[in-house]
Structure 1
Amino acid sequence: MGSENIENSALKKLTKMIKIKPYNFKNLSTPIYSFLRLVLGQVFRSLFPANFTGINNIPKKGPVIFASNHLSHVDPLFMIAGSRRKLHFLAKHEHFERFLTRFVVSSTGQIKTVREKGGGEALSTASGILERGKCMGIFPEGTRSRNTEPPFLGKGKTGIARLAASYPDVLIVPVVCEGTRDFMQPKAHKFPRFWKPVTFHFGKGITWKEWIFHEKGGNLNEDELNELVNQSPEKQKQKLSGLYRRFTDQFMNTLKNMGAV
């Protein structure tokens, strides 16, 4: 069966049932962010010793989920500069309390979230970004590593899978950052250490639609998807939880194979 038929049958039904309700933004992008991305992005790439590989794996238009390991609070800045796309990230509401940090996070496309309200709000915000055809930058681990020595890569949270399942045609691009911890380690360095090399690898992306039918991924066919759609809510939740965990674990393993430590 062709992808067109698949999209218009079982997978489409399932997506409609499980899609995360998108937050309705009044004004997603600020003029300051647009200016900084276009003008200062070139300056940023020129000044800092950063190397970006796999740029050809990044679509030039349309919504994309960029998912990366997380070593430093400067990771989003390098991802924006390297991808040359207008990325949006989720940031803790504490970052918006002081003028300087509020200016920085607002100027770099970051969206305020309140963690105390749970992961649902964050996913709704991310869904709203993709719903508007924008690019979303996420860190599947949920936060920066607190380890003082390798390994730094932690267990991924399944929010990335739930988001991917809500937008099965959106490409998820794996990103691995190296060196940003030495460039500016949280709490240890007050200023960037400009001489420290930084590398960002953009890997080959995959969509949920590709993964769910792949024998090494979800390994489901359309009949099995139809069965899932018609199952009781309890059984459906159990099956989906297993798929979300498998997708997340495989994605984190991809980051590890790309060099994330």
Structure 2
Amino acid sequence: MLYWFMSTVVRRLLKIVFRPVVSGLENVPAEGPIIFASNHLSFVDSVLIPLVMPRRVTFLAKAEYFDSSILGAFLSSMGHIAVPRTEQRAAVAALDIALKTLGEGNAFAIYPEGTRSEDGRLYRGHTGVGWLALNAQVSIVPVAVRDTQRIMPVGARLPRIHRPGVTFGKPIDSKPFADMPPARGRRALVDEIMQEIQKLSGQEYTGTYNERSKVTAA
């Protein structure tokens, strides 16, 4: 019931108030296991992406996001998984849950950078998404969000009205990377994912990890 409310009523309100610019929905498979890998500019991303997507998707979300009763209720209703940023073991366990989610034929979304970018640049992706895609044997849809940080700047208590954007790129097949040595295959796959996200978002790519990131997987 709560998911229905969030996915219908809240989605309509979002379109009326924020008028998000969405493109590439033809690249979103209607069914079957699939990974969505997105850049990360604001906690708003975890609200915006599932609300503009035509199917249900589960995210790994920072545990602190669940501290708010309203936001926590929304994330829980959407099936999001809380990940403590400071606990590596918990992060690895979350990827195991993600693998189970995909094994059940569902959609899963992840932020390869591990945490949001505070300077608007795109950082190097951790290989957790590569491990996930290769173990689940699924494709990855690169996703680019734009201007979500303007809706909820760091330190702001209330959202600001600004028009965000979401672009879904063409799926990336993970199969060619499965023939490589495991570590190299994961790294090559994630590098290609980040390259496609950069093309979609237009962000400057740093080529380095975001130092704030605590969620990594080999």
Please classify the TM superposition score into its range, dividing by the shorter chain length. Answer: 0.7 to 0.9
> 2-side partners of 1:100 and 1:82: how far apart?
19
The answer on whether the counterparts of 1:49 and 1:198 sit within 8 Å (CA) in structure 2 is: yes
Who is 1:192 aligned against? 159
Structure 2 match to 1:206: 172
Q: How many Å apart are 1:173 and its aligned residue? A: 0.7
**1:101 CA displacement:** 4.0
Contact 1:180 1:198 in 2 (8 A): yes
**CA shift for structure 1 position 191:** 1.6
Q: Mark the CA change 1:138 to 1:61 in structure 2 (over 3 Å): closer, same or farther.
A: same
1:159 aligns with 2:125: no
Q: Within 5 Å, which residues of 2 pair with 1:2-13?
A: none
Residue number in structure 2 paired with 1:249: 191
Distance in 2 (alpha carbons) for counterparts of 1:49 and 1:99:
25
Counterpart residue identity of residue 175, structure 1: V
Q: Check 1:200–1:98 CA distance in 2 against 1; reply closer, same or farther (3 A cut).
A: closer
SS in 2 for 1:255: helix
Asked if the contact 1:45/1:81 (under 8 Å) is kept, the reply is: no
1:45-80 C-alpha deviation (Å, 9 max, x unpaired): 232121001111111112221110000101122111
The share of aligned pairs that are identical, in percent, is: 33
* Structure 2: runs of 5 or more not aligned: 204-218
- The CA deviation string for residues 142-173 of structure 1, in whole angstroms up to 9 with x for no partner, is 111133xx4x21110001100110122x2311
Deviation, structure 1 residue 192:
1.6
Two-structure CA RMSD over aligned residues (Å): 2.0
2:214 aligns with none
Which residue of structure 1 lines up, in the alignment, with residue 32 of structure 2?
Answer: 62
Q: 2:211: which partner in 1?
A: none
Alignment-mate amino acid for residue 183 of structure 2 = S
**Distance of 2:124 and 2:144 partners within structure 1:** 15
Question: How many pairs were matched up?
Answer: 201
- Structure of larger gyration radius: 1
Deviation (angstroms), 1:42: 2.7
**TM-score with structure 2 setting the length:** 0.83
Q: Secondary structure at the match of 1:60?
A: coil
User: Deviations for 1:169-211, whole angstroms, at most 9, x for unmatched residues?
Assistant: x231110011111122232x222211x22111111012212x3
Is contact 1:89–1:138 with CA below 8 Å preserved after alignment? yes
Determine the structure 1 residue equivalent to 2:207.
none
Matched residue SS, 1:157: coil
Residue 100 of structure 2 is aligned to residue 128 of structure 1: yes
Q: Distance in 1 between matches of 2:192 and 2:107?
A: 22
Alignment of 1:1-261 (within 5 A): 31-115=1-85, 116-118=87-89, 119-147=91-119, 150=120, 152-168=121-137, 170-187=138-155, 189-194=156-161, 196-209=162-175, 211-212=176-177, 220=179, 239-261=181-203
Q: Partners in 2 of 1:186 and 1:108 — Cα distance?
A: 24
Distance (whole Å) between structure 1 residues aligned to residue 49 and residue 65 of structure 2: 19
Instruction: Give 1:135 deviation, angstroms.
Output: 1.1
- Secondary structure at the residue paired with 2:188? helix
Is this contact kept in 2: 1:164–1:207, CA < 8 A?
no
Determine if contact 1:68/1:176 at 8 Å carries over to the other structure.
Answer: yes
